[in-house]
Chains A and B, each alone.
Chain A
Amino acid sequence: MVTEERELETVDLNINMGPQHPSTHGVFRMVLTIDGEVVTDVEPHIGYMHRGGEKLSENMDFRQAIGYQDRTDYLAQFLNEQAYCMAVEKLLGLEVPERSEYIRIILCELNRITSHFMFAGAFGIDLGFFGTSFTYGFREREFIQDIFEEVSGDRLMYGYFRPGGVVWDVPDNFVQRVREVLPKSKQGIKDLDLLLTDNEIFVARSRGVGVISGDDAIDWGLSGPMLRASGVAWDLRKDRSYSIYNRFDFDIPVGDYGDVYDRYLVRMEEMRQSIRIVEQALEQLPDGPILPEKMPRKLRAPASEVYAAVEGARGEYGIYVVSKGGDKPYRLKIRSPSFCNLSALKTMTVGNYVADAVAILGSVDIVLCDVDR
């Protein structure tokens, strides 16, 4: 008797890493199709945090609209405000005084450091640390956030920059406070380094995972640490130098392999470089006014268009303003880095394990309010 060979019919499992999940870094839904433990398809569903920021900004005048910029990428707020202020300043032909430029740079780079501390903390949790890396990262963040609170009065939504400069001058002890905090940040980076970077299990979980090549990264519009980890040495502070970045001596970390581990290393190194920039800026900080002398009361723009981009903590954060005269933007488009970085999720994740899907999502370092605006 010949027994028939029958193929076992299997169906790939559809797993919903739903909007509520400890690892999706916000309200984000990922539908994974898995075959055993290997991911065969990823479909991201975003839009849970869409609050219509671009439409709302059309109704606010140029000074009011800055309030919304804090609320897109809420971990790197000063960098968003910087982009917006640069766009409006270019549109209106405002010139920012030197003191404000330095203050902005110091605050932006400190904000980059806090954002990357948050990344390192959350990334450790994604890989299984159960809280240790998180508390390490957040303690360092708190020291810097105290400075932000002293400067702007707010812990999270600063609203401190204005087109033309900043809204009020920094407190008198600002330089001394920042100088106090920098050694703590250096120590914090070292602690996180010791905990994560050479930990064998961490390395085994992140090397070779989620690789994307440099050409693919460019094709998918990635920017920021994701692009630099894939070997493309493109940083807006270097290649489209804005504000006064051309006065400082700092380096851009560039990875070679484009995997999750490289992205982590690039961000850790960026923190160190940001500390360098802050130290140099503190020494050069001049006295002077913080807003231009001929600051118009009502900001009326000519009928024109402008695009300004900064190197945000997550990538290129750009603002495109279309103005038809008047004091409100006709169209305000926010080019958010997390949106563009997240679109490449499927290419990076397919073929890896479910556990790696979480690690890859963590390494993209998205902020959902930035993805959805």
Chain B
Amino acid sequence: MSEQEKSPEDSGGEAPAEAGEQKAEAPAEAPAEAPAAEAKPARAEKAAAAPTKEPPPPGGIADLLKEALPDIQMEAYQGLSSVIVEIARDDISTVMRAAKDDPRLDLKFLRCLFGVDHLEEGFEVIYQLLSLTKDHEVTIKTRLPQADPKVASVTPVWNAANWHERETRDMFGIDFEGHPHLVPLLLPEDMTDHFPLRKDNPLAPVEEWQGELLGEHMASAGHIPAGSGFEVEAEAGGE
């Protein structure tokens, strides 16, 4: 529960706009931490349990998809902002092609395409589709195994996918087969083997990292004011 220990020091390393609010909160939070600490394991358990998935509204996009693609296995449920449909990764090409071309669906606008790293559960690629004429939208997801992150590219279907897939490959290492020009987009051209957004590239908690480095640097320059919380013991070696 390192987060809770750090919260009074939250005010240290933040944007100034936050500082006023957080400082006011920090003293109030200390007494609230004790009950919160007990409540947290209970809440965490509840959160870890799979959320109940509501069925999608009838006659909506999920039914249209099932009509247009009767042979494809899909699991549809109602998410917080749109209907979410999960399909197998081998069906991506067929489903996406049908989504764009089928006149009932007419999902011609690819809003977004990105990946999520779920560690052992694999990667997930999320496609957000929208139809401007039929005024409906859907979020299509597909799981990729962690050892084999490959999926068919949808660039032949929507040109918008071109850059989105390049970025997802940069960040997660997911290989999009059939992409015309899969070279790094946001990362340097030679950075093809290191994938920043994967969860095995952790970011240290910001305060911890900044605080220590800040302490080392400022100590050597002799600038740390007493009582600031950044003092570093003279002989403590940094990590």
Contacts and interface: CB of A to CB of B under 8 A. Distances in A.
Given A64-B14, A220-B159, A297-B25, A46 B79 contact: no
Nearest to B15: A67
B155 to A, nearest CB: 11
B64 interface: no
- Taking residues whose C-beta sits less than 8 angstroms from the other chain, chain B's interface range is 35 or more
B36 interface: yes
A255 B128 CA distance: 26
A297 B203 contact: no
6 contacts: A52-B196, A54-B171, A67-B18, A157-B15, A297-B32, A306-B80
Nearest to B43: A300
Interface stretch (A197-205, A335-343, A352-360): A335-343
Interface residues of A, number: 64
Chain B interface SS verdict (over half): mixed
Interface string A327-340: 10011010100011
Given A46-B186, A60-B206, A221 B111 contact: yes
Interface string B130-165: 001001000100000000000000000011101100
Contacts of B110: 221
Given A52-B196, A326-B47, A307 B82 contact: yes
B48 interface: yes
B112 A160 contact: no
B81 A306 contact: yes
Interface string A121-165: 000000000000000000000000000000011100111101000
B114 interface: yes
Given A63-B22, A326-B47, 4 more contacts: A64-B18, A297-B28, A325-B46, A342-B163
Interface of B: 3, 7, 10, 14-15, 17-18, 20-22, 25, 28-29, 32, 36, 43-44, 46-48, 51, 79-82, 84, 108-112, 114, 116-117, 126, 128, 132, 135, 139, 158-160, 162-163, 167, 171, 184-188, 196-197, 201, 203, 205-206
Contacts of B109: 218, 221
A320 B10 CA distance: 25
A372 interface: yes
Contact of A333 (B46, B51, B114): B114
A347 B160 CA distance: 12
A96 interface: no
Contacts of B43: 300, 325
